[in-house]
Structure 1
Amino acid sequence: MKRILSVIIAVSVLLAAYPVFACTTTLTGKKASADGSVMVSHSDDGLGDGRLIYVPAMDHKKGSMRPVYYDACALGYKPEWGASETQRLVTKERGPGYDTPGVPLSVPIGYIPQVEHTYAYFDANYGIMNEHQLSIGECTDKAKVEPEPAPGKRIFYSSELSRVALERCKKAKDAVKLMGALIDKYGYYGTGETLLVADPEEGWVFEMCGYDAEGTGGVWVAKRVPDDSFFVAANQFRIREVKKGARDMMFSADIFDIAKKKGWWNPSDGPLDWAKVYGDGEFHHPYYSLRRVWRAQSLVAPSKNLPAWVEGAFTKKYPFAVKPDQKLSVEDVFRIHRDNYEGTEFDLTKGLAAGPFNDPNRFEGRAESVAGSEEPLSTVKGAFERPLNIYRCVYAYVNQSRKWLPDAVGGLTWFGPDRPATAVLMPFYAGVNNLPEPIQKGDILKFEKDSMWTAFNYVANYAMLKYGFMIKDIHAVRDHFEMQSFGRQKQLEQNAAELIDDKRDAEARKLLTGYCEDNADNVLKAWWKLSEDLYIKYNDGYLNTSAGIAQSVFYPAWWLKKVGYENGPLTYKRNSGEK
């Protein structure tokens, strides 16, 4: 009996300490982008399911019901809801990509009425983009209350909300209204969340959370991003004052009444501050969120000279959105996600923690990577800076929605598997008939040569052996493919658009699908070849090339001094510092 009780306790502790998808997401308005597109980006920063899945358009029988599934992103994997720790969703109802033999079927937490036709879209841990250029990004936030799922009371989390929106909506504003209505009617569970929702004309920030551990419903607020501005969120609510009658805002009808009832806000306090009233500050420790907001805004608008140090979690030093000093490209936006604070006082490629070879990766030792548990993993209290580029990222992307092109061509997801700094941006058009098989395959507990995620994760991990050297080799291959994609983009899109103008839609989709598949296939082959080249070139800590085998690559002097290299053994006498 004691053994059984011990197992139950151990399992309970394990499930309580759930992995967090602590992400960074940005939105660039059409007048802030270099080409007039509305851009949404997202890095999914939790070691989980890294697949990009194609969900086809479908027709449904009148009166049928749509299942709503539990999302492990919300509160961790729960076996009672099916699927697995590495495969987020298992069902035949959303196309071949989610039909995974040998994995338990996902169990619906509830149902909503289905519509007769649903749109095709790209899906990952959250919905990404549909065939009508509706685009979504996400980050997790800390809310005062984070309820458990409950059939009939709380059936929606942001992941399934984003998918329903992509299945049914063409415009960002309509998607916000739909998701808000679903929260109001069917309830909300899990962490606080930010979803960025955009179409070719505009972008909205949609934030939500639960408010009662046992009750139903949820609360939400949305704010439009100015067309000439750039927005960033990093695991903390970013909407502040909720203003009645504001044309650039939407919110749940009971947002004020609930705040008063809970004792979180009184009208005499002034306008309801959403982040303060319903949020619970930064995700883990000071600057876990704010440093990334500061860095992203500083990179796009350095002229603002934003302060790196502020008075507290609810500072107003960082505006809701900033106007970039120069209009932003896809490369500019993804460069933000690749950042390790290089060139700042927080530069993670410098110092003893970076080791002798400038490794910016900092493994988390307390509760940064695990929510629901504050149990320390070390007796040493402290924290590293939390970068925009983090080692446990499973994918990142930049979406473009472009009004001057047909939807099939104008909607474009630039997808990078694994962490941004070592990923290649690969283009996938909204009008493709399917996605390449390697991008739809991946399991963090399996080594799969035909998985794009495995290839990129393998190289990224190997690079940590001698990061400052290997990253240059990685970037050389990365830059080749990205420059090639950007260089071919204009002609490809012109050809596809002309086919659509000639009413040859099927040919255009075939053209786009073939291009994306060929590019992905070439990237996968090149990345495994890169892994072999890195192994040979840096074998046994040397530099091995045709110019010479076992060329010595020694440690830098500053690092040798820091780690006590000078303390010997240089003589046969005991050093004064040794015991």
Structure 2
Amino acid sequence: MKKNYFAAAVLMVVSVFSALNSDACTNYLITRGASTDGSNMISYAADSHVLYGELYFRPAADWAEGTMVDVYEWDTGKYLGKIHQVAHTYSVIGNMNENQVAIGETTYGGRHELGSQEGAIIDYGSLIYLALERSKSAREAIKVMTDLVETYGYYSSGESFSISDANEVWILEMIGKGNGEKGAVWVARMIPDGYVSGHANQARITNFPLEGKNSISSDKMDKIFNPEVTNVYAKDVISFAKEKGYYPKEGKNKDFSFSDSYAPVDFGGARFCEIRVWSFFNSVKEGMDKYFDYCKGNIEHDSKGYATNRMPLWVKPDKKINVLDVMDFMRNHLEGTELDMSKDMGAGPYGNPYRWRPLTWKVDGVAYCNERATATQQTGFSFVAQSRNWLPNAVGGINWFGVDDAASSVYFPMYCGSNRVPESFAVGNGKIMDFTNKSAFWIFNQVSNFAYTRYNLIHPVIAKKQKALEKKYYSFTKIIDLAAEGMFKENPDAAVEFLTDFSCNQGNNLVREWRGFYGDLFAEFMDGNVKAKDGNKQNPKLDQPGYSKEFYKTIVKTTGDKLKVKGEMSH
């Protein structure tokens, strides 16, 4: 059985993740005190033009002493080496384990010379899944992750991690030491209860408390499980920066900024990355407009070269947030701002808030950019991980999972205690170049890509159905929670099977419904028309909305008299 599990795991790493480029992901973090029901939540969008969206599953297992694990780079499938296995690994569904621990990531890169490390074995993707397999809490995940890179070396460039459990939410930022020195430097901070945070491909931890009652360095990691500790950092995080010249040797330690030293924010870091965090903060907190100029790429610096007009690492929302709100935060296109992607010429006649890549382009030698909003066409999968400390772990953790563009996807509830995943979302059901109408990824892409052709007409229909389904699932989980919690007291195995059946049925039924929905949309909107059934009549009601007045004016402006009607028309 272990050989079969190993083979399956290796195949999954090589085939599923070999093409993943996660240089453009988005994470939002919500603490218990900031949520309506007292749950911790993190969201994550895995964005890549060649990532096939699936729901990964690793069952729990016991391992013989001396067992070794083959490590493959998450992005490329490259074999990196072997590490020691632990005696027991926990079940993992997607990016959440059976203990309600969830981990997301965004790559920020940072100093280029630190982006590779000869002989290193642990890349950021392997770090996530190894930690999920080995951790009962967010704090343990941080210890596992930092121990792994210290022992085996860190293969990747700079990375931000969201790490949550049923009680706490943390952000961990890490960057390797480059060639010639093993491991990484890093800082981890617990988000204060009642606050929210986010990261989106730009390092965000600046100053942090130095050693004291609430803060420890890595040489005292045995104290990380003390609940008073809310900040942890590599013991050489400042001295290494001084050695490399990233921070003045005479600089005071208390003034040190992790991000400004290891990953200074530039135009792209603000305009393409920080603006996604801003869109979330702006949705939950008044007064965030004062940071909008910074997010447009107008960065102010002090004498050290540190950015002085950055956003805070976390904010206290004006009102509490529920899981449906978080789903909507993942669907933002900068609506209501001067950068609203549906308003300029690039949106075309139908207000499409998407821009086909490349992200930057030139006209007459001058560089220009498209916006990079939270919701994007190249998302492989996304999730909202919800952890609740008043329920048994198997019931308390829900991985609300969706594939493709979050703006047109539907998040369904996958309980973390489940022992299998829906077939329509499972690994091996289709590939990025092998279409199948039995796969969630392909069915949702059919709907979203059809919507891109006439967005302002088709997307509202999608959004209406999306909202109805997610509200239904949300109401279902309240009932399932109660039933499963009661079952756990009498028969835990039956409770797990109950949760698994529910989760798999919702996922598979969703894909069947969305497949039929695509047919309905196609019939309604094909050929540039908008049609609706007209009672029992054979022919439907027909509307031909054409383009907006503004777009017709643009056509005339750019074509002159070429299309002008002259004389009388008989038709």
> 8 Å contact 1:189–1:209 — kept in the other structure?
no
Instruction: Note if 1:200 corresponds to 2:166.
Output: yes
In structure 2, what is the Cα distance between the partners aligned to 1:262 and 1:355? 48
2:500 maps to a residue whose letter is T
In structure 1, what is the Cα distance between the partners aligned to 2:317 and 2:356? 32
Quote the offset at 1:304 in angstroms: 4.9
Give secondary structure in 2 for the equivalent of 1:450.
coil
2:54 maps to a residue whose letter is R
> 8 Å contact 2:115–2:157 — kept in the other structure?
no
Aligned to 1:279: 263
Instruction: Give the direction of change, closer, same or farther, for the CA distance of 1:452–1:230 in structure 2 (3 Å limit).
Output: same
Instruction: Give the direction of change, closer, same or farther, for the CA distance of 1:146–1:489 in structure 2 (3 Å limit).
Output: farther
Aligned to 2:88: 117
Aligned to 1:174: 140
Quote the offset at 1:282 in angstroms: 4.5
Aligned to 1:85: none
Q: Which runs of 5+ in 1 are unaligned?
A: 1-16, 82-106, 368-374, 574-579
Within a 5 Å distance, the mapping from 1:330-369 to structure 2 comes to 330-366=323-359
Query: More deviation in 542-551 or 219-228?
Result: 542-551
Give secondary structure in 2 for the equivalent of 1:561.
helix
Instruction: Give the direction of change, closer, same or farther, for the CA distance of 1:529–1:561 in structure 2 (3 Å limit).
Output: same
Quote the offset at 1:180 in angstroms: 0.9
Question: Deviations for 1:205-227, whole angstroms, at most 9, x for unmatched residues?
Answer: 11111232454322111111001
Instruction: Give the direction of change, closer, same or farther, for the CA distance of 1:477–1:366 in structure 2 (3 Å limit).
Output: closer
Query: More deviation in 288-297 or 193-202?
Result: 288-297
> 8 Å contact 2:195–2:317 — kept in the other structure?
yes
Instruction: Give the direction of change, closer, same or farther, for the CA distance of 1:468–1:212 in structure 2 (3 Å limit).
Output: same
1:212 maps to a residue whose letter is G
Question: Deviations for 1:269-325, whole angstroms, at most 9, x for unmatched residues?
Answer: 332210011114258365111211221111111255443102418344411100010
In structure 2, what is the Cα distance between the partners aligned to 1:130 and 1:537? 42
Kindly, what percent of the aligned residue pairs are identical? 31
Aligned to 1:300: 284
Instruction: Note if 1:454 corresponds to 2:446.
Output: no
Instruction: Give the direction of change, closer, same or farther, for the CA distance of 1:333–1:571 in structure 2 (3 Å limit).
Output: closer
Query: More deviation in 222-231 or 479-488?
Result: 479-488
Give secondary structure in 1 for the equivalent of 2:407.
helix
Aligned to 2:192: 226
Give secondary structure in 1 for the equivalent of 2:103.
strand
In structure 2, what is the Cα distance between the partners aligned to 1:427 and 1:329? 14
Aligned to 2:371: 385
> 8 Å contact 2:25–2:45 — kept in the other structure?
yes
Tell me how large the CA RMSD over aligned residues is: 2.3
In structure 1, what is the Cα distance between the partners aligned to 2:346 and 2:386? 37
Question: Deviations for 1:319-344, whole angstroms, at most 9, x for unmatched residues?
Answer: 11000100111111121110111122
Quote the offset at 1:203 in angstroms: 1.1
Instruction: Give the direction of change, closer, same or farther, for the CA distance of 1:297–1:204 in structure 2 (3 Å limit).
Output: same
Aligned to 2:11: none
Aligned to 1:43: 45
2:56 to 40, 47, 53: 53
Aligned to 1:422: 408
Within a 5 Å distance, the mapping from 1:372-451 to structure 2 comes to 381-440=367-426, 441-451=429-439
Instruction: Give the direction of change, closer, same or farther, for the CA distance of 1:18–1:506 in structure 2 (3 Å limit).
Output: closer
In structure 2, what is the Cα distance between the partners aligned to 1:170 and 1:20? 26
> 8 Å contact 2:31–2:194 — kept in the other structure?
yes
Aligned to 1:98: none
Question: Deviations for 1:478-519, whole angstroms, at most 9, x for unmatched residues?
Answer: 1221121011111111000100012x0111111111111111
Question: Deviations for 1:505-558, whole angstroms, at most 9, x for unmatched residues?
Answer: 111111111111111121111111111112111111111222436531210010
Within a 5 Å distance, the mapping from 1:177-326 to structure 2 comes to 177-213=143-179, 215-245=181-211, 246=215, 247-270=229-252, 271-282=255-266, 284=268, 286-310=270-294, 311-312=298-299, 314-326=307-319
Instruction: Give the direction of change, closer, same or farther, for the CA distance of 1:283–1:498 in structure 2 (3 Å limit).
Output: farther
2:415 maps to a residue whose letter is Y
TM-score by length of 1: 0.84
Q: Which runs of 5+ in 2 are unaligned?
A: 1-18, 216-228, 301-306, 535-539
> 8 Å contact 2:334–2:341 — kept in the other structure?
yes
Instruction: Note if 1:532 corresponds to 2:519.
Output: yes
In structure 2, what is the Cα distance between the partners aligned to 1:20 and 1:417? 15
> 8 Å contact 2:423–2:508 — kept in the other structure?
no
> 8 Å contact 2:116–2:178 — kept in the other structure?
no
2:373 maps to a residue whose letter is P
> 8 Å contact 2:158–2:174 — kept in the other structure?
yes
Query: More deviation in 341-350 or 377-386?
Result: 377-386
> 8 Å contact 1:391–1:419 — kept in the other structure?
yes
> 8 Å contact 1:145–1:210 — kept in the other structure?
no
